[in-house]
């Protein structure tokens, strides 16, 4: 499983993360919250090996990330970046099929997985279209299908890192996509997602990490983290925290 | 973008037939027109099949000495330019990238100018029959040297930055252009004329001796690039995305630059500057078969070779018995077609 120990990261000569101790747990959806510039994306980049840590290290299964051969690591760890730029007219199922590149599971099995991943991301109807004709939200769902296909069907050995997977989605799809991610985590995969919407985080995440100025401010279940005090300290926002009338999770309203 | 070919095999077979036709016509047509059948029979005779017939000996001579090396040269130049175009478009993740971007063409032009003008100014010692080889070697070395410099300038902290490389390529190309201009200023009329024609490209200097290095380079590129088709697909998503998919992106970029430098360097050394093939062919084929490199690479190879052979046919037939420089034909055909593509739909 993915583990960060005393992680510190520098970017452009500036320390953007320090003292991060974090373990992703199988089957769990961990939400990362924090204001702009808090180090959320840096954390994700460090967790997947894109940024070299200044101190501490990231281990996958107890082995430092750098020690993993590329394809083997790719079968265990998938990353959804914030805004993938693809300027070529691939068909949607080809883009999702890229998730199968680290595998040698055969064309038929790959096609089946691509279809299932598309269905999971509610993007089946996009199959056959050129990627370039899709809207921002549709592209985001296609890339989510791609990273799910990379780990499909998901299991306790695997890790999925998502950078703002709902940033371009309409309200319905913000819910249906996070529900899909939850179900994917239900197969055993450890999922970390950077989120901005506190209520979405409250509803779908098992644990939340509150990040500010590169440091961990709170880590725990939504009820522990989403309290008026810490939220005011981190976001500078006065909020009321109530209980969701039907589901019981915290409901955050700006005052 | 609707008309992706659903049956890739059909496209590859069609392109192969097109290439065979282009090759056949290249053997038969020219200032002296051979009957189509004779050009094939001459090829068989060259291969050692004992055939005899009226005019076959002459046909064998023309095909063997002139047209076969020329057709092979065109085939190699066209396919390696198109393949390098695909490689550069993947490296820069931009369908408008051209093999010239990393400085290989302008470096080769500089090398050629050095050989031509330098040869005419100081090179009394080089026997005239060896000067084409000196020119090729100098062009090849110039292409490699400038590309190596562009690559070095793009490296920082153990990473190759393609945006920096692009800018370095532009700057060094401008510098090479200035140097070539200076050589042109210093050159006498004969050298200036050679320089001008070399810059426009031509297959007319074809000989087996000049063919081998290019055939080897082309074979290397043609065998190596398709093995990286999956990695090239992933690279189009972005460098980090390709790394997340398990590919060694730094090595891949290094290999792509090396491949293009060798392939385009050898092509330019053998045939001068032939524009538009590396840009146009991949573009056109993406319209037909989509951007998947597993299909695009073999298609570009076949398509590039066919286009170059047809362009060369026009070059030698339009003003026969005189010959147009090949680069003029590819630009005349390529530029309007490219504009039409641009206007037609965003790629």
Q: What domains sit in chain A, N to C, each tagged with a CATH number?
A: 2-254 (3.40.50.300)
Residues in chain B: 347
> How far apart (Å, rounded) are the C-alpha atoms in residues A33 and B65?
74
Q: How many CA atoms lie within 13 A of B120 on its CB side?
A: 18
On whether the CB atoms of residues A182 and A20 are closer than 8 A, the answer is: no
pLDDT of residue B121: 65
* Overall average pLDDT of the B178-182 stretch: 91
Can you read off the two tokens belonging to residue B218?
């082309």
Chain B touched by A46 (CB under 8 Å): no
Contact A94 B244 (CB under 8 A): no
Nearest CA in chain B to A70: B246
Q: Which residue of B has its CA nearest to A73?
A: B246
Nearest residue in B to A82, CA atom:
B241
A240: nearest Cα among A227, A230, A223: A227
Mutate to test the interface with A, among B237, B250, B300, B347 (most CBs of A within 10 A): B237
Inter-chain CB proximity A90 and B241 less than 8 Å: no
Whether the ω angle into residue B321 lies within 30 degrees of 0, i.e. cis, is yes
| Angle of CA points A214, A219, A225, to nearest 5° | 110
In this complex, do B238 and A84 lie within 8 Å of one another by their Cβ atoms? yes
Shortest CA gap A90–chain B (Å): 6
Read off the pLDDT of each residue in B246-267 and give the average, rounded to a whole number: 94
Contacts of B4 in chain A (CB under 8 A): 91
Question: Alpha-carbon distance B220 to A174, whole Å?
Answer: 49
Closest CA to A162 of A198, A219, A205: A205
Q: Using DSSP, state whether A122 is helix, strand or coil.
A: coil
- Where residue B2 falls among pLDDT bands split at 50, 70, 90? very low
Of the pLDDT bands very low, low, confident and very high (cuts 50, 70, 90), residue B130 is low
ipTM: 0.93
Domain locations along chain B? 8-344
Q: Say how far residue B141 (Cα) sits from the centre of its chain.
A: 16
Structure tokens at A250: 């915290």
Instruction: Check CB contact under 8 Å for A84 and B4.
Output: no
Tell me if A73 and B246 make a contact (CB, 8 A cut-off): yes
The listed CATH number (3.40.50.1970, 1.10.3470.10, 3.50.50.60, 3.40.50.720) that belongs to domain B8-344: 1.10.3470.10
Give the number of A-B residue pairs with CB atoms closer than 8 Å.
Answer: 74
Question: Who contacts B52 (Cβ-Cβ below 8 Å, separation ≥6)?
Answer: none
> Quick check: A86 and B238 CB within 8 A?
yes
Sort out which chain B residues have CB atoms less than 8 A from A73's CB and list them.
246
Cα(B281)–Cα(B294) distance, rounded to whole angstroms? 16
Label residues A38-71 b or e (16+ Cβ within 10 Å = b).
Answer: bbbbbbbbbbbbbbebeebebbbeeeebeebebe
Q: What are phi and psi of A218, to 5 degrees?
A: -160, 145
pLDDT at residue B150 is higher than 80:
yes
**Rounded distance between C-alpha atoms, residue A229 and residue B111, angstroms:** 70
Between A73, A88, A130, which is nearest B236 by CB?
A88
CB under 8 Å to A118, separation ≥6 — which residues?
A92, A93, A96, A124, A126, A127, A142, A145
Per-residue pLDDT in tens (0 to 9) along chain A, 255 residues: 899 999 999 988 899 999 999 999 999 999 999 999 999 999 999 999 999 999 999 999 999 998 999 999 999 999 999 877 888 999 999 999 999 999 999 999 999 999 999 999 999 999 999 999 999 999 999 999 999 999 999 989 999 999 999 999 999 999 999 999 999 999 999 999 999 999 999 999 999 999 999 999 999 999 999 999 999 999 999 999 999 999 989 999 998
């Amino acid at each position: 499983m993915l583990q960060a120990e005393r992680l510190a990261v520098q970017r452009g000569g500036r320390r953007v993360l320090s003292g991060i101790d974090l373990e992703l747990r199988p089957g769990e959806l961990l939400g990362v919250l924090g204001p702009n510039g808090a180090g959320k994306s840096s954390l994700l980049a460090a967790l997947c090996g894109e940024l070299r840590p200044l101190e501490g290290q990231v281990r996958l299964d107890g082995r430092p990330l750098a020690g993993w051969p590329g394809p083997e690591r790719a079968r265990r760890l998938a990353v959804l970046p914030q805004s993938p730029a693809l300027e070529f007219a691939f068909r949607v199922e080809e883009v999702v099929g890229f998730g199968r590149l680290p595998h040698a599971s055969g064309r038929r099995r790959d096609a089946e997985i691509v279809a299932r991943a598309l269905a999971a991301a509610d993007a089946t109807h996009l199959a056959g279209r050129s990627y370039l004709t899709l809207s921002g939200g549709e592209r985001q769902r296609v890339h989510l299908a791609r990273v799910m296909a990379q780990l499909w069907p998901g299991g306790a050995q695997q890790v999925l890192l998502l950078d703002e997977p709902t940033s371009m989605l309409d309200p319905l799809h913000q819910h249906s996509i996070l529900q899909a991610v939850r179900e994917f985590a239900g197969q055993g995969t450890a999922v970390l997602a950077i989120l901005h919407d506190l209520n979405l985080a409250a509803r779908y995440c098992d644990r939340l990490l509150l990040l500010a100025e590169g440091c961990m401010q709170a880590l725990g279940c939504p009820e522990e983290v989403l309290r008026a005090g810490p939220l005011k300290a981190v976001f500078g926002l006065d909020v009321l925290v109530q209980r969701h009338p039907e589901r019981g999770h915290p409901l955050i309203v700006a005052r | 973008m609707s008309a992706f070919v659903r049956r890739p095999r059909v496209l590859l077979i069609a392109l192969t037939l097109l290439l065979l036709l282009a090759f056949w016509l290249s053997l038969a047509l020219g200032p002296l027109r051979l009957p189509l059948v004779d050009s094939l029979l001459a090829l068989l005779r060259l291969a050692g099949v004992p055939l005899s017939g009226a005019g076959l000996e002459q046909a064998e001579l023309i095909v063997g000495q002139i047209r076969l090396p020329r057709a092979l040269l065109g085939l190699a130049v066209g396919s390696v330019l198109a393949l390098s175009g695909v490689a550069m478009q993947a490296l820069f993740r931009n369908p408008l990238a051209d093999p010239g971007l990393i400085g290989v063409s302008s470096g080769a032009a500089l090398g050629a100018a050095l050989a031509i003008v330098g040869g005419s100014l100081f090179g009394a010692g080089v026997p005239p029959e060896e000067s084409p080889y000196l020119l090729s070697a100098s062009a090849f070395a110039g292409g490699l040297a400038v590309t190596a410099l562009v690559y070095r300038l793009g490296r920082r902290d153990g990473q190759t930055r393609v945006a920096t490389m692009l800018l370095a390529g532009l700057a060094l190309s401008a510098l090479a252009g200035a140097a070539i201009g200076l050589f042109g200023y210093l050159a006498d009329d004969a050298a200036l004329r050679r320089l001008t024609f070399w810059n426009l490209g031509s297959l007319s200097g074809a000989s087996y001796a000049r063919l081998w290095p290019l055939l080897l380079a082309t074979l290397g590129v043609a065998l190596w690039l398709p093995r990286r088709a999956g990695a090239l697909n992933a690279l189009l998503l972005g460098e980090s995305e390709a790394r997340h998919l398990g590919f060694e992106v730094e090595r891949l970029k290094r290999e792509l630059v090396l491949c293009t430098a060798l392939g385009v360097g050898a092509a330019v050394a053998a045939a001068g500057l032939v524009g538009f093939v590396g840009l146009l062919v991949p573009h056109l084929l993406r319209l037909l078969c989509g951007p998947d490199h597993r299909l695009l690479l073999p298609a570009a190879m076949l398509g590039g070779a066919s286009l170059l052979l047809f362009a060369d046919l026009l070059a030698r037939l339009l003003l026969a018995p005189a010959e147009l420089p090949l680069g003029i034909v590819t630009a005349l055909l390529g530029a309007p077609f490219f504009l039409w593509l641009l206007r037609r739909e965003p790629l």
